[in-house]
């Protein structure tokens, strides 16, 4: 029997062993260059994450803080385009609350100062509204004159466009008003709203002077309530049954906040996707750099093992380095993220109705710091675990039998690695299903890239061109020789290409949603609210200006009374009914004609051009079919201004709602609604700006109630607005792209060390610079092309799924972006590989070996 | 004289695919304390494998290795590492210095791992002993092959090992430098009374030791004492 070994536990300690810390520092001094890309991935990834997260949080906080300003009151009641019922008003007045009213409608305004005309939103206000927030105005404005009914206010965009100052006047309908103020911000509205359709605010008592409120005019009536603290729920409970009875809609601050959130939903979602991508890229960056770093360190580890260091001690030497750099990277990332966050509110201020104060969000900062540490730790521990089991024998001979040792710790870390992105994606998307989908797709992509890499190795080995030139043979065999980097580089490059392409495609689809028509021969001017008695004169005026009448459409307002033998009230009471409330209670604007128009296509049934006897077959759009859960021949009874009209569903139509023209959910045949109260809409195209201005001036003088919308102006404004949103999307996406590029470059640069000895040896044996460069280009081209192509193709599938299921938008595949990314990724891979080899070739083989090995 | 290393019916077989290759077969010998021994033989005879096993860098397929009366086969990798740190020194053919540490830091490493304090002085003394006092702050890449091997020798002796394993210590050096290294190695070894196990195919170098063990085809074919 041998002697029993007694180990001095102190010498095996990891924490107490000072040499571990010292060696970690000493070793890192010379390795800082190699770890630079690792730290860069952490910095950029965390910076993007913190900037996005801080901005989202600050926005949410500011919305909460300024939420009452989003509405300007505690409650808003919308009468849904009818005048408030007098009985309802009696009930409302019985409440001990402050009440204000407004009426909003579109109209043309005329500025006598310079004969300018423009479609605006008129907003007649009565009472102390807004109760929360202040009406911000330019210097010299006077709110008192507005409040006591003497003057009107106008939006700043209107004042700038027509060079209007305080004390100038304007004509609205038949009334002429003095302007006492220029509004820069009104609670609850954004400057985007003001740009697209600027508002003229007038005292309610002077509304009649305009003479614009006529039959068929689209007027929105609202009541605003200011409730005493603590009484809001009580007031809501009192109002709920009344609102149901009169079919009015109530909005409170919470709902407005939700609406606002929904309005920016896709932007939030995109930002969350960016965070996810930035984080995953950071993880890949960390894992790949540490993997390659550890491989380089195996001889140092084996030497330490020979000197008597334990596996854990060696592990901690390198872990301390990685962790320290991870901490530094995370702190720098957080600082950069905070700095970027100061820029964001300036960029987005125009289309957000609250002031986003650029403050440090400590939650985001700590979240960034925490995530940075988790990424640095988790994704470095797995490759580092291998170093614990380095056989010291490799010092004596290169090939050592594998011990086949299974480490429980390694499995534990692996489980955490799987779990972490999953939890993060669920947290980011606020949905278990979506988060799991994100994560699942990523795992699938990872697996497919692994398969492609293995497939590539197999194909090259199986069909190896044995008779080709030395350069081809050498570069291709690099793909499968021992110590090859095919799998790791294909996965890293492929994932990078996948994430970048997915972002580009999603960005394109999001931007695609905001593309507007209005080019070529399409209509660009719409005249609204033409009364029947004005019909011929307006047509004549249009002809006098030699303008084409592209559409002249009658519009009748109506409501649904019954669907399939059940009245609206019965359906509402029926809790099992699948009919949607919006479809049942809305005010419908329908038309009648004898044929389909360009933007329509029959999906089912037959379009009836003229009513025969009592059988009136209407045509219904596909979205209304869904809303009312309709089948062909279903009966619908309409209340047309008090007259019941029984109809049957004759056909279902697909309608292209994006077209600039009048589109309808319901089209009646001719011979039914001709005598119903109605108004007309005329659509034309005016190419010359001067003609457009003269036509609009003539129109507003002769027919003050008729509104002309110059879509050119709106389209330009909308384009500008979406350019800004696009800028924000691109600006934020840039961080993920940068992270991706750093990660890719890092992986390829690190691969230099694997090829170093071989290249130096070949150089020593007389290989020409040209030959070595050619070999590098061929090897890296293969890797870049295969990985990039696989990544791009997978991105096409992923972005389609994301568009449809996550963003719920149309998918616009952009093959040009895809090809550009594919080529760029390949080029970057080859370029960095070329730079690597070049740096070796410019020095003597001995110099390189001494410096680098 | 008692044995510091006792090898008994040692065998080592490697598995390569379906084939198994027996590199060492039924090796038995003892090494007494404060002696020196050379293991010689042609390439592929199993010299390096034997050295790796004796030093506890690898596990045998069968047989036993006792170092200081401790059965190495019963120890796990960390326990063997502990034994190496306490009692074993190494000099390798390729020097195997840590490229990111200076000469002085490389020499200090075994004692740092042991947890010893105030070791810089001893390391400097050893560097002075091998003639590199003025190169202590140089990195391995700034030293010649001979200088690197001198640093490695200083590192091997700093922990006062009971047994020193040297694998072709002059194999990568020119004749003149090899002579210098041989002189340094043997003189320090003599001074400190360390047991030296030398693996080489250079018979001239082997003759510096007191005993030569000749291997061929994985078996000991000759075990002869040398009168120095």
SS (H, E, C) A784-799: HHHHHHHHHHHHHHHH
- Taking an 8 Å cut-off on Cβ atoms, the answer to whether A3 and B109 are in contact is no
Beta strand pairing status for A175-185 and A169-172? antiparallel
Query: Measured between CA atoms, how close is B49 to chain A, in angstroms?
Result: 8
According to the model, what pLDDT value does residue A517 have? Answer: 38
Q: Which residues of A touch B97 (CB under 8 A)?
A: 303
Average pLDDT over every residue of A443-459: 89
* 3-state class (DSSP) for residue A846: helix
Interface confidence, given as ipTM, is: 0.80
Selected residue of B53, B61, B98 to mutate for chain A interface (largest A Cβ count, 10 A): B98
Sequence-ordered list of residues with C-beta below 8 angstroms from that of A224, at least 6 positions apart, any chain: A71, A72, A73, A75, A76, A99, A100, A101, A102, A127, A129, A130, A131
Sequence-ordered list of residues with C-beta below 8 angstroms from that of B164, at least 6 positions apart, any chain: B88, B89, B90, B91, B156, B157, B189, B194, B195, B196, B197
Give CA–CA dist A842/A372, Å, rounded: 37
According to the model, what pLDDT value does residue A403 have? Answer: 55
A:B CB pairs within 8 Å: 126
Does A819 score more than 80 pLDDT? Answer: yes
Does A249 score more than 70 pLDDT? Answer: yes
Does B39 score more than 80 pLDDT? Answer: yes
Cβ A515 vs Cβ A844: under 8 Å: no
Report which of A841, A814, A806, A852 is spatially closest to residue A273, judged by C-alpha positions: A806
Please tell me the least confidently modeled range out of A206-215, A343-352, A490-499, B72-81. A343-352
Q: Which residues of B touch A308 (CB under 8 A)?
A: 81-86, 88, 110, 113-114
Residues 185-214 on B with a CB inside 8 Å of A are: none
**CA A129 → CA A71, A98, A106, A201, A202, distances in Å?**
10, 9, 20, 12, 12
Residue B84's closest chain A neighbor by CA? A308
Average pLDDT over every residue of A828-844: 78
Residues in chain A: 853
For A468-548, strand residue ranges (E) read 525-530
Instruction: Give me the sign of the Cα torsion angle A452, A454, A457, A461.
Output: negative
Which comes out higher in pLDDT, residue A483 or A846?
Answer: A483
Which comes out higher in pLDDT, residue A215 or A690?
Answer: A690
Question: Which pLDDT band, with edges at 50, 70 and 90, does A193 fall under?
Answer: low
According to the model, what pLDDT value does residue A268 have? Answer: 67
Report which of B31, B39, B38 is spatially closest to residue B1, judged by C-alpha positions: B31
- Answer whether B216 touches A (CB < 8 Å): no
pLDDT digits (tens, 9 = 90+) for A330-360: 999 899 888 877 776 666 665 555 566 667 7
Q: Show me where the domains of chain B are located.
A: 3-225
According to the model, what pLDDT value does residue B138 have? Answer: 92
Does A65 score more than 90 pLDDT? Answer: no
Selected residue of B24, B85, B165 to mutate for chain A interface (largest A Cβ count, 10 A): B85
Give CA–CA dist A486/A779, Å, rounded: 9
Q: Among A300, A307, A311, whose Cβ lies nearest the Cβ of B77?
A: A311
According to the model, what pLDDT value does residue A170 have? Answer: 93
Q: Among A23, A303, A396, whose Cβ lies nearest the Cβ of B52?
A: A396
Give CA–CA dist B128/B136, Å, rounded: 9
User: Is pTM beyond 0.80 here?
Assistant: no
pLDDT digits (tens, 9 = 90+) for A89-143: 888 888 888 899 999 887 888 888 888 877 788 999 988 888 888 888 888 888 8
- Taking an 8 Å cut-off on Cβ atoms, the answer to whether A300 and B99 are in contact is yes
Query: Measured between CA atoms, how close is B50 to chain A, in angstroms?
Result: 11
- As a whole-number percent, the residues of chain A with pLDDT over 90 amount to 8
Residues in chain B: 228
Burial of A812 (0-12, 13-18, 19+ CB in 10 A): middle
Does A84 score more than 90 pLDDT? Answer: no
Which comes out higher in pLDDT, residue A439 or A658?
Answer: A439
Cis-peptide into A363, omega within 30 deg: no
Report which of A176, A166, A126 is spatially closest to residue A149, judged by C-alpha positions: A126
A798-801 long-range contacts (CB < 8 A, ≥24 apart) are A798/A441, A798/A445, A798/A498, A798/A502, A799/A501, A799/A502, A799/A505, A799/A506, A799/A509, A801/A437, A801/A441
**B9 membership: H or E segment, kind and range:** strand B3-16
- Taking an 8 Å cut-off on Cβ atoms, the answer to whether A300 and B109 are in contact is no
Query: Measured between CA atoms, how close is A262 to chain B, in angstroms?
Result: 56
Q: Among A22, A299, A305, whose Cβ lies nearest the Cβ of B81?
A: A305
Q: Which residues of A touch B169 (CB under 8 A)?
A: none
Which comes out higher in pLDDT, residue B15 or A766?
Answer: B15
pLDDT digits (tens, 9 = 90+) for A658-717: 555 677 889 999 988 888 888 888 888 887 777 877 888 788 788 877 777 766 666 565
* A404 Rama sector, left if φ>0, alpha if ψ -120 to 50, beta otherwise: left
**CA A552 → CA A529, A666, A681, A700, B142, distances in Å?**
12, 17, 6, 19, 90
According to the model, what pLDDT value does residue A519 have? Answer: 42
Residue A314's closest chain B neighbor by CA? B113
- Answer whether B85 touches A (CB < 8 Å): yes
According to the model, what pLDDT value does residue A518 have? Answer: 38
Selected residue of A307, A387, A403, A851 to mutate for chain B interface (largest B Cβ count, 10 A): A307
Which architecture characterizes domain B3-225 according to CATH?
Answer: 3-Layer(aba) Sandwich (3.40)
- Answer whether B90 touches A (CB < 8 Å): yes
pLDDT digits (tens, 9 = 90+) for A526-540: 887 788 888 899 999
Residue B85's closest chain A neighbor by CA? A308
- Taking an 8 Å cut-off on Cβ atoms, the answer to whether B81 and A392 are in contact is yes
Does A263 score more than 60 pLDDT? Answer: no
Please tell me the least confidently modeled range out of A354-358, A617-621, B59-63. A354-358
Average pLDDT over every residue of A737-747: 67
Sequence-ordered list of residues with C-beta below 8 angstroms from that of A828, at least 6 positions apart, any chain: A741, A744, A745, A748, A784
- Taking an 8 Å cut-off on Cβ atoms, the answer to whether B78 and A401 are in contact is no
Average pLDDT over every residue of A262-280: 69
Q: Which residues of A touch B66 (CB under 8 A)?
A: 2
Mean residue pLDDT of chain A comes to: 79
Give CA–CA dist A586/A639, Å, rounded: 12
Report which of A404, A442, A512, A346 is spatially closest to residue A798, judged by C-alpha positions: A442
- As a whole-number percent, the residues of chain B with pLDDT over 90 amount to 43
According to the model, what pLDDT value does residue A323 have? Answer: 87
**String of DSSP letters for A323-340:** HHHHHHHHHHHHHHHHHH
- Taking an 8 Å cut-off on Cβ atoms, the answer to whether A306 and B84 are in contact is yes
- Taking an 8 Å cut-off on Cβ atoms, the answer to whether B57 and A393 are in contact is yes
Q: Which of A580-584, B94-98, B161-165 has the highest mean pLDDT?
A: B161-165
Q: Show me where the domains of chain A are located.
A: 18-71+266-430, 72-262, 431-519+715-853, 525-714
Mean residue pLDDT of chain B comes to: 89
């Amino acid at each position: 029997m041998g002697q029993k070994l007694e180990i001095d536990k102190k010498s095996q300690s990891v924490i107490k062993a000072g040499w571990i810390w010292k060696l970690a520092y000493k070793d890192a001094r010379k390795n800082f260059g190699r770890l630079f890309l690792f730290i860069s991935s952490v910095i950029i990834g965390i910076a993007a994450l913190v900037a996005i997260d801080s901005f989202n949080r600050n926005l949410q906080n500011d919305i909460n803080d300024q939420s009452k300003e989003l509405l300007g009151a505690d409650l808003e009641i919308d009468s849904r385009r009818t005048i408030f019922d007098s009985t309802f008003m009696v009930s409302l007045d019985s409440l001990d609350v402050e009440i204000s009213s407004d009426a909003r409608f579109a109209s043309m305004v005329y500025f006598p100062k310079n004969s300018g005309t423009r479609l605006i939103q008129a907003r007649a206000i009565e009472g102390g509204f807004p109760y929360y927030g202040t009406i911000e105005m330019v210097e010299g404005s006077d709110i008192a004159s507005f409040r006591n009914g003497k003057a009107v206010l106008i939006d700043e965009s209107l004042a700038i466009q027509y060079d209007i100052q305080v004390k100038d006047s304007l004509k609205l309908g038949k009334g002429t008003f003095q302007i006492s103020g220029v509004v820069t911000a009104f609670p609850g509205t954004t400057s985007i709203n003001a740009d697209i359709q600027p508002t003229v605010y007038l005292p309610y008592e002077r509304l009649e002077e305009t003479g614009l409120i006529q039959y068929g005019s689209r007027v929105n009536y609202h009541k605003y309530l200011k409730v005493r603290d603590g009484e809001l729920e009580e007031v809501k409970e009192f109002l709920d049954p009344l609102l149901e009875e009169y079919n009015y809609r109530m909005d409170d601050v919470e709902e407005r906040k939700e609406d606002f959130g929904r309005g920016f939903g896709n932007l939030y979602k995109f930002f969350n996707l960016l965070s996810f991508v930035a984080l995953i890229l950071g993880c890949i960056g960390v894992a790949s750099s540490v993997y390659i770093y550890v491989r380089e360190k195996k001889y140092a580890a084996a030497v330490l093992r020979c000197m008597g260091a334990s596996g854990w001690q060696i592990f901690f030497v390198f872990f301390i380095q990685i962790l320290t750099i991870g901490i530094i990277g995370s702190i720098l990332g957080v600082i950069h993220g905070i700095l970027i966050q100061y820029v964001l509110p300036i960029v987005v201020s125009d289309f957000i109705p609250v002031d986003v104060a650029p403050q440090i969000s400590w939650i985001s900062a700590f979240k960034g710091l925490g995530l940075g540490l988790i990424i640095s730790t988790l994704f470095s521990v797995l490759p580092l675990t291998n170093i614990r089991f380095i056989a010291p024998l490799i010092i004596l001979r290169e090939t050592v039998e594998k011990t086949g040792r299974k480490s429980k710790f390694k499995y534990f870390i692996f489980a955490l690695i799987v779990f972490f992105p999953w939890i993060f994606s669920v947290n980011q998307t606020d949905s278990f299903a979506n988060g799991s989908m994100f994560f699942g797709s990523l795992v699938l992509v990872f697996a497919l890239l692994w398969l492609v890499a293995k497939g590539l190795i197999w194909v090259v080995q199986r069909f190896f061109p044995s008779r080709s030139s030395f350069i081809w043979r050498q570069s291709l065999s690099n793909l499968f020789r021992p110590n090859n980097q095919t799998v790791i580089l294909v996965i890293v490059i492929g994932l990078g290409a996948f994430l970048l392409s997915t972002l580009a495609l999603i960005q394109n689809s999001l931007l695609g949603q905001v593309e507007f028509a209005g080019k070529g021969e399409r209509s660009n001017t719409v005249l609204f609210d033409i009364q029947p008695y004005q019909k011929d004169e307006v047509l004549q005026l249009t002809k006098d200006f030699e303008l084409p009448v592209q559409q002249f459409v009658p519009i009748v307002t109506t409501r649904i009374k019954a669907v399939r033998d059940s009245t609206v009230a019965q359906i509402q009471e029926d809790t099992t009914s699948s009919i949607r409330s919006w479809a049942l209670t809305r005010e419908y604007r329908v038309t009648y004609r004898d044929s389909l128009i360009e933007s329509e296509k029959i999906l089912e049934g037959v379009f009836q051009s003229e009513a025969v006897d009592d059988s009136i077959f209407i045509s219904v759009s596909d979205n209304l079919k869904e809303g009312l859960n309709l089948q062909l021949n279903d009966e619908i009874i309409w209340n047309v201004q008090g007259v019941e009209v029984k109809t049957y569903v004759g056909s279902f139509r697909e309608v292209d709602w994006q077209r600039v023209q009048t589109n309808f959910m319901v089209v009646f045949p001719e011979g039914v609604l001709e005598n119903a109260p109605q108004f007309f809409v005329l659509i034309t195209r005016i190419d010359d700006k001067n003609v457009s201005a003269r036509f609009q001036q003539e129109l507003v003088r002769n027919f003050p109630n008729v509104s002309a919308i110059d879509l050119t102006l709106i389209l330009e404004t909308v384009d500008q607005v979406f350019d800004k949103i696009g800028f924000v999307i691109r600006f934020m996406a840039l961080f993920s792209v940068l992270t991706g590029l750093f990660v890719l470059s890092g992986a390829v640069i690190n691969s230099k060390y694997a090829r170093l000895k071989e290249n130096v040896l070949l150089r020593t044996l007389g290989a020409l610079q040209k030959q070595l460069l050619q070999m590098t280009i061929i090897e890296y081209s293969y890797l870049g092309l295969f990985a990039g192509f696989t990544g791009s193709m997978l991105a096409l599938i992923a972005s389609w799924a994301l568009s449809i299921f996550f963003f719920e938008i149309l998918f616009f595949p952009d093959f040009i972006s895809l090809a550009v990314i594919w080529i760029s990724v390949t080029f970057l891979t080859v370029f960095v590989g070329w730079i690597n080899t070049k740096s070796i070739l410019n020095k003597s083989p001995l110099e390189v070996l001494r410096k680098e090995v | 004289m008692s044995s510091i290393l006792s090898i008994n019916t040692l065998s080592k077989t490697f598995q390569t695919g379906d084939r198994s290759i027996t590199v060492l077969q039924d090796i038995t010998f003892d090494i007494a304390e404060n002696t020196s021994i050379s293991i010689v033989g042609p390439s592929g005879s199993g010299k390096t494998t034997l050295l790796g096993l004796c030093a506890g860098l690898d596990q045998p397929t069968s047989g036993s290795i006792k170092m200081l009366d401790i059965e190495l086969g019963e120890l796990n990798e960390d326990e063997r590492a502990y034994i190496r740190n306490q009692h074993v020194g190494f000099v390798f053919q390729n020097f195997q210095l840590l490229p990111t540490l200076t000469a002085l830091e490389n020499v200090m490493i075994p004692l740092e791992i042991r947890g010893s304090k105030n070791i810089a002085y001893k390391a400097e003394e050893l560097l002075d002993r091998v003639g590199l006092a003025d190169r202590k702050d140089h990195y391995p890449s700034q030293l010649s092959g001979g200088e690197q091997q001198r640093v490695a020798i200083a590192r091997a002796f700093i922990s006062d090992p009971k047994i020193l394993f040297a694998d072709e210590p002059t194999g990568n050096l020119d004749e003149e430098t090899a002579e210098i290294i041989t002189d340094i190695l043997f003189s320090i070894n003599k001074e400190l009374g360390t047991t030296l196990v030398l693996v080489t195919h250079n018979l001239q170098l082997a003759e510096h030791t007191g005993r030569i063990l000749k291997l061929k085809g994985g078996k000991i074919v000759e075990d002869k004492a040398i009168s120095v």
